Amino acid sequence: MKFLILLPLYYTAACLTIPFVTALFIPHAKEISPPPQKNIENTITVFNHTDNTTYNINIEDYLIGVVAAEMPAAFEPEALKAQAVAARTYTMYKSASSDHDADICTDYTHCQAYLSEEEMHENWKNDYNFYFDKIKNAVYSTSGEYLSYNEEPIMAVFHSMGGGQTQNSADVWGTQMPYLVSVPSPGEEEATNYHSTLSVSFSEFKNTILKDYPNAKIASCLDVSKPTLTQSGHVKSILIGTVSIPGSKIRSMFNLRSTKFTLSFTDDTVTFSVTGYGHGVGMSQYGANAMAKTGKTYKEILSHYYQGVTFSE
């Protein structure tokens, strides 16, 4: 309820600043259309998982909060537009297959992350007006656009960085979506923490695995086989003793940034060298930003990361 009460104030502030900011920072920007009028079709119900409340909100205004939460506001405008369309599509997809009463929730592990206006203020401080208008422009200038396959909204999943190559959905979740296929994702290496490492002692490595796989039988590094890789070079599984452990399970057990990793053993230390961040399926956000920097449009970005899809409105 607090959100709904505050919302008109933010609208007023945003509306007042848009012409000024647009003139300053977005030369030749397409005129921003006013948000669609509220009606049953463009109003959605959102479950806020932090306070267990459900509220109605215009989908375009909801998407400003999603893009703000899911992608750095400093990213290129075309990357933000790609994110807006992906998030709108994912919202529609989730709404159609919702397993909770609301259309979508704010838990990023279940649906999509979301920032309230107060949280955006906290994040951006003095840059609030600039970033808010930049994201609002990305959402409104693509208003109503979504991606479809066989006339249905697609499962437009996204991740931070795929490690140079995105993953086939089948290699991560077991089901192959025709549009979630492995594609190159160049340019991500400019991101901070594109490469990361984690070192643990051999006993910690062993105990962590034995906790979930008590039959793994691991006495030394000789019991750890070379990983089996997916088409994109992510770890599909590792045979430890006689037990095959999925790469995704290793990732969660050791809190690795992705399943694209190598293992090395020295003395009493096990080191994971990790590339990328996230599950690696669908659009890579850093890859999208890299494409935008080379002049690609949001439609070219989305057509690359979601193969064979149609732009619908």
Chain contacts with Zn ion (rule: CB under 5 A): 105, 110-111
- Return the number of the residue (155 or 183) whose C-beta is nearest Zn ion: 155
- Return the number of the residue (155 or 245) whose C-beta is nearest Zn ion: 155
Closest separation in Å from C-beta 102 to Zn ion:
8
Closest separation in Å from C-beta 107 to Zn ion:
6
- Return the number of the residue (2 or 110) whose C-beta is nearest Zn ion: 110
Hey, which residues does 55 pair with through a beta bridge? 46
Q: How many CA atoms lie within 13 A of 265 on its CB side?
A: 13
Closest separation in Å from C-beta 70 to Zn ion:
14
CA distance 177 to 306: 10
- Return the number of the residue (67 or 218) whose C-beta is nearest Zn ion: 67
Closest separation in Å from C-beta 99 to Zn ion:
7
Closest separation in Å from C-beta 291 to Zn ion:
29
DSSP at 32:
P
Give the pairing of strands 146-149 and 152-153. Answer: antiparallel
Q: Which helix (H) or strand (E) holds 118?
A: helix 117-124
- Return the number of the residue (112 or 137) whose C-beta is nearest Zn ion: 112
Q: Mind giving me the DSSP string for 199-261?
A: EEEHHHHHHHHHHH-TT---SSGGGBPPPEE-TTS-EEEEEETTEEEEHHHHHHHHT-S-S-E
Nearest to 163, CA basis, from 92, 230, 255: 230
CA distance 290 to 55: 36
CA distance 36 to 43: 10
- Return the number of the residue (59 or 240) whose C-beta is nearest Zn ion: 59
- Return the number of the residue (48 or 148) whose C-beta is nearest Zn ion: 48
- Return the number of the residue (12 or 54) whose C-beta is nearest Zn ion: 54
- 238 close to 216: Cβ distance less than 8 angstroms: no
Closest separation in Å from C-beta 94 to Zn ion:
7
Closest separation in Å from C-beta 136 to Zn ion:
24
CA distance 305 to 160: 13
Token couple for 258: 């992705």
Closest separation in Å from C-beta 108 to Zn ion:
9
CA distance 30 to 35: 15
Query: Any idea what the Cα angle at residue 116 is, between residues 113 and 117, rounded to 5°?
Result: 140
